[in-house]
Chains A and B, each alone.
Chain A
Amino acid sequence: MQTSRARLFKEYKAVQREKGADPDIQLVCDDSNIFKWTALIKGPSETPFEGGVFQLVFAIPEQYPLQPPQVRFLTKIFHPNVHFKTGEICLDILKNAWSPAWTLQSVCRAIIALMAHPEPDSPLNCDSGNLLRSGDIRGYQSMARMYTRLAAMPKKG
């Protein structure tokens, strides 16, 4: 069996086994393709993303786990390190700092940590980064909260 497939299958089993162990992450594997996954993550509390549920899509390369998975946000999010249009994420562990000891589950956890601790000095979303860099925390938070309400929360009524 292919290495990547075998490893993903192990992760799949772990996810099934530990269902609900981490209430903030819900990982789902595509029914017909083990190289395609989606995840729902909860916006961390005490951030403008609180109360929102964000969808991530994973495309896993053949060389996984030697190569990192490609992850992007499907849900619109206003965050300095996430591209506003494509959902691309700027996170070191998904690029140079990748190690095969990471799993899809721990990548999700890292993304939640990134949501709570943005890095405005390497922005993919300049508007968002500039607000933070100029010290306009309130401006950043209200923009981020607005997009959370618009895109990541169930519509009222």
Chain B
Amino acid sequence: MSKEKERQEQEQEQESGCSIASTSGGNANPCPICLGPIPSHQESYLDRCFHKFCYECIVQWIKFAPKKYSEPPDYVTCPYCKTENSSVIYLYDENSLERHYIPQIYTDSVFLSEAHKYRLRSYYTRQGTLDGTFDVQRFWRLRKYLHQNQSFHCWVKRELQALLLEEDVEVIAHHILGTVEFFVKRNGPKNRKQPEVVREEFRAIVSEAARPFLAGKTERFVQEMELFLASGLKLEAYDEVYKQQACNDTVAQPSETSRAAPDLFIFDDTSHEAD
């Protein structure tokens, strides 16, 4: 066998070792388009025949196929069984799903960057990976929320874009940022509340603001927001740390696929007393 192929083989094994895909997809049901395992954040299926594909793969095919028609059709023929389907179901969990109709997919601009994709991916991995990296307790104890993080606006916008797969999130971002601002004003430097109480209040108020848009992903969104704020880092630096940690975590515990219960996070560490 030639050297090029051997090298590719090694590269590919390294890739899969570090990706989240390797824990869940398996080789049992590969995507018929790329023939690879379907990463959990990419899982999608067609609405009539229920055949599964990587979201990126099926979208590529949907965008490519109509070149042979004079007008783009409003359906896609399943590559596997030729059934005509009118939409792709995507990003589903117990609580919510995304449904993309075919004409919508043609017109979708490609705005999702690599950063968006990694953010989206992180919502489909076990949480708590960065618990030890950023000290959330300390953030609340020292009232660090009073100092504004310059990147916060960018972070919220990007997070919403990734989760909603929508480019224009200005209104929702404005709403959430306004809510956080209101919260900071109300809990100014003079408040005498316990850090845990302030934290609970923050979680409740942000959840309420975000829930109509993010549904089942709200809790995780609020936790991710806490993590980002606690980090005090700029966007790029935060991404670096996050990716590194997430990668280490998947390598260390390849069998871990279940998501921890959302609320365990708060009770993780109660031994800290106020300074």
Contacts and interface: CB of A to CB of B under 8 A. Distances in A.
Partners in one complex: yes
Interface of A: 1, 3, 5-7, 9-14, 31-32, 34, 63, 65-67, 96, 99-101, 103
Looking at chain A's contact residues, the main secondary structure is: loop
A6 B5 contact: no
A7 B54 CA distance: 13
A9 B8 contact: yes
Contacts of A7: 33-36
Interface string B64-93: 110010000000010110100000000000
Given A100-B32, A100-B33, A9 B5 contact: yes
A34 to B, nearest CB: 7
Contact of B33 (A1, A9, A63, A101): A101
B269 to A, nearest CB: 42
16 contacts: A3-B34, A6-B12, A6-B34, A7-B35, A9-B12, A10-B35, A13-B9, A14-B35, A31-B2, A32-B2, A65-B33, A66-B60, A67-B64, A99-B79, A99-B82, A100-B33
Contacts of A32: 2, 4
B77 A99 contact: yes
Contacts of B111: none
Contacts of A65: 33-34
A103 B79 CA distance: 12
Contacts of B35: 7, 10-11, 14, 103
B61 interface: yes
A131 B244 CA distance: 69
A96 B80 contact: no
B11 interface: yes
Nearest to B11: A1
B33 A10 contact: no
A6 B12 CA distance: 9
B261 to A, nearest CB: 37
